[in-house]
Amino acid sequence: MITKRQIELLMKLSEKDDEYQTADELADYFHVSLRTVYQDISYLKTELDNHYATIKAISSKGYCLQIINKEKFQIYMNNLFNNYYQKFHFDDPLSRNHYIIMRLFTTKKSFLTQTQLQNELYISKSALSADLKNVKQLLKEYHLELYCNSHSGVQIRGSELNKRILILKENIQFQSMNQITQQNFNKDITIIVEEVLNSHRYIVSDVIFQSLIIHVELSVQRMIQGSFVNDEEIEEIQENEAEYSIALDILTKLSKKFGFPLKKSEVYLLSINLLGKKNYDEDDVISQELNDFILEELIKINHEYNFDFTCDLNFRIALALHIAPMLKRMQYHMQLTNSITLNVKQNYPLAYDIAASIMMGIYESYGYKALDDETAYLAIHINLCMEQDKKMAEPKRVLLICPNRKSETLLLTQQIYRRFRQQIQDLTITPSYRFSDINLADYDVLFTTEEQVVNDTIQAIHINYFLDEKDYLRIELALNGINDVSQLKNYFDDELMYFGNAEDKSEIIQLLCLKAERKYALKNLNEQVMRREEIGGTYYGNFVAIPHPEQMISNDTFIALAILKKPIVWQDNHSVKMILLVCIEKNNPRALQLWYYLSNLISDENLVKKMLKARSSNEFKIVLNELQKMQ
């Protein structure tokens, strides 16, 4: 691997091509020993053999660069700049870490010494130690080990499959080919994959095709280097599958082209990749088991979120066509990566939460646990099918279940009409014993003053006979939803705010849940929230996490807030300083609009920065007042 100094040496020689420069001159210029100059020149002579130039050496004169083909040599030099300087900014720790991983993956030796890495990175021993510590932590996330030996150096140990997952997810760039060779390599692979897919009449989308090419290129690069997936790392698939035949055909042609041995484990790996990317259409057979599962999940969504997709046949088919290949990916541990996961969470938080609920159903039914990236892809599909209630601005037909006689409900009806006359088309009052005679389809909103009614199957919102401000807020939310983002401040309460420090995620969730349980007489809130954390991540970017219960268990909608002085790790090494514990009241579908307006808040980076500086409820409210300006 050519080093920065060797590139600079080549540049120095190219400034005066066909002129000789002595080893002493070069040693003084680069502040290195003569031995280092000899070693660098020797490496460059080997490197340049096939790169349209050569270095001549005459003992009495020194070294001279002779350019054989100026145009091609310039392309080679441009390639060095593009692939080295632009991709590895060594003043950036992350780029140094990626470079270290890349070098450890591409070295022809078993180990790289720390001295080699120091020289290539131009950093001190202590700086390299800090970088290696970060690399070790990153490798641990992929179940890999950074092995260090005081004599031999360092190397990466672990399964080849995990190494490839790391390379793909962390976008590790390899520098083992010059630009022309890389272009030809990409072209040859693309042509072979295209030919095989066409010969098998196998249809894939453009996006899937590009993803497949990336997978194949990486596999071929690793196999050329002698790194293969072991049999025990990969599950076998049925060899009568069309995908197996295609994978075998592709790798047979590529092994002949690039001279690596063909191994069955690699064929299985490519087959699984194809299965996970397979395009299903309506003519494909979706199993009855999957149909039944989807219907059960849609019934659950209707019960928990009040979105009824059960009769939407197109949505059910679309969901099945998405979930079928996703289950294959999950089965073979090849879930997709998604560069816009945080954007999906921020912009479609409700759709993401519904997707997470379906993923929990998959875990319970199939035993596969989804990554956030796969959940985000599912959320995009769900969001397409979610529309705002078109009747939101229209006056509502209201049913009030109340045990009192009609003459005794006059005060209650007057209170409701006084506040909400414009939003109510009709208000009907009935006792619970006559409830069975009522056609619920005739009403848009149900309220009740009977606590036990809320606990039954009736989807009614509980209010007190003598209305207080909380009741008015419930009625307002049920009738109108949330009309603008500034209304979010109605759901923050001083008693549910915390400003300080926390050791970890569990501690801060428990603290906020305890505050909420005391204020709203809730039970098992912490248990519900922690169960939701197991389903999928609740980190939403910008140092914000939004934990919430798995099910709607509250009669109130509220947000408990924590702003921490020091960040804590929430998930996947993401740090969090602001925690919004969100509870949506049950039986009120319009309360779910809170998610839409929360997305406006958490995606506004400048607003979040101001919130993170708040050290009291008063300071936080001052920032909340700026929500008025977001209209």
SS3 state at 400: strand
Average pLDDT estimate for 325-335:
81
CB neighbours of 39 closer than 8 A, spacing ≥ 6? Answer: none
Please say whether the beta carbons of 117 and 106 come within 8 A.
Answer: no
Please say whether the beta carbons of 261 and 224 come within 8 A.
Answer: no
Res 360: pLDDT = 92
Is residue 410 very low, low, confident or very high in pLDDT (cuts 50, 70, 90)? confident
Task: Quick: pLDDT tens for 508-521.
Answer: 999 999 999 999 98
CB neighbours of 186 closer than 8 A, spacing ≥ 6? Answer: 213, 217
Q: What is the rounded average pLDDT for all residues in the chain? A: 83
One-letter amino acid of 597: Y
CA torsion 260-263-268-271 (nearest 10°) is: 30
Is residue 176 very low, low, confident or very high in pLDDT (cuts 50, 70, 90)? low
Of the ranges 5-14, 68-77, 419-428, 542-551, the best mean pLDDT one: 542-551
Residue at token pair 């790996």:
269
CA distances from 554 to 307, 321, 491, 584, 591 (A): 19, 35, 13, 7, 12
Res 366: pLDDT = 92
Task: Quick: pLDDT tens for 298-319.
Answer: 999 888 887 888 888 778 888 8
- What the block records as the tokens of 65 is 């660069």
Query: Which of these ranges, 112-121, 173-182, 251-260, 540-549, has the smallest mean pLDDT?
Result: 173-182
pLDDT cut 90: percent of the chain above it: 27
Please say whether the beta carbons of 590 and 477 come within 8 A.
Answer: yes
CB atoms within 10 A of CB 571: 14
CA torsion 451-455-460-464 (nearest 10°) is: 20
Residue at token pair 């008063």:
618
pTM for the full predicted model? 0.59
pLDDT cut 70: percent of the chain above it: 89
SS3 state at 309: coil
Res 87: pLDDT = 47
In angstroms, rounded to a whole number, what is the distance separating the alpha carbons of residues 32 and 30? 5
In angstroms, rounded to a whole number, what is the distance separating the alpha carbons of residues 248 and 407? 82
**In the chain, what is the greatest distance between 2 CA atoms, to the nearest angstrom?**
118
Strand pairing report for 53-58 and 62-67: antiparallel
Please say whether the beta carbons of 192 and 254 come within 8 A.
Answer: yes
In angstroms, rounded to a whole number, what is the distance separating the alpha carbons of residues 524 and 531? 11
Task: Quick: pLDDT tens for 134-167.
Answer: 999 999 888 899 999 888 899 999 999 889 888 8
- Three-state DSSP string of 459-500: CCEECCCCCCHHHHHHHHHHHHCCCCHHHHHHHEEEEEEEEE
Whether the predicted pLDDT of 118 surpasses 80: yes
In angstroms, rounded to a whole number, what is the distance separating the alpha carbons of residues 479 and 444? 9
What's 176's DSSP letter? S
Average pLDDT estimate for 525-537:
89
Strand pairing report for 544-545 and 558-571: unpaired
In angstroms, rounded to a whole number, what is the distance separating the alpha carbons of residues 195 and 501? 60
Is residue 132 very low, low, confident or very high in pLDDT (cuts 50, 70, 90)? very high
Whether the predicted pLDDT of 124 surpasses 80: yes
Average pLDDT estimate for 447-467:
75
Please say whether the beta carbons of 26 and 39 come within 8 A.
Answer: no
Query: Which of these ranges, 61-75, 183-197, 443-457, 564-578, has the smallest mean pLDDT?
Result: 443-457
SS3 state at 226: coil
Phi, psi (5° rounding) for residue 581? -85, 110
Res 1: pLDDT = 62
Task: Quick: pLDDT tens for 180-214.
Answer: 566 788 889 999 999 999 999 887 767 678 778 88
Task: Quick: pLDDT tens for 345-378.
Answer: 888 888 999 999 999 999 999 999 898 888 988 9
In angstroms, rounded to a whole number, what is the distance separating the alpha carbons of residues 302 and 300? 5
Res 573: pLDDT = 74
Whether the predicted pLDDT of 456 surpasses 60: no
559 by Cβ neighbours in 10 Å (0-12 / 13-18 / 19+) ranks as: buried
Per the rule left: phi > 0, alpha: psi between -120 and 50, beta: everything else, 201 is left
CB neighbours of 387 closer than 8 A, spacing ≥ 6? Answer: none
One-letter amino acid of 93: P
CA distances from 363 to 251, 354, 360, 367, 535 (A): 33, 14, 5, 4, 9
- What the block records as the tokens of 449 is 């003053």
Task: Quick: pLDDT tens for 228-286.
Answer: 998 887 777 777 778 899 999 999 999 999 999 999 999 999 988 887 766 655 445 57
Residue count (the chain): 631
Q: Which residues on neighbouring strands pair with residue 149, listed in sequence order?
A: 153
CA distances from 430 to 266, 449, 559 (A): 69, 11, 33
Whether the predicted pLDDT of 122 surpasses 90: no
Res 335: pLDDT = 81
Whether the predicted pLDDT of 388 surpasses 70: no
Average pLDDT estimate for 473-493:
81
Please say whether the beta carbons of 335 and 373 come within 8 A.
Answer: yes
One-letter amino acid of 577: K
CA distances from 283 to 275, 286, 321, 589 (A): 17, 9, 11, 36
In angstroms, rounded to a whole number, what is the distance separating the alpha carbons of residues 5 and 505? 46
Task: Quick: pLDDT tens for 41-94.
Answer: 888 888 886 667 888 888 888 899 888 888 788 777 777 765 555 444 566 677
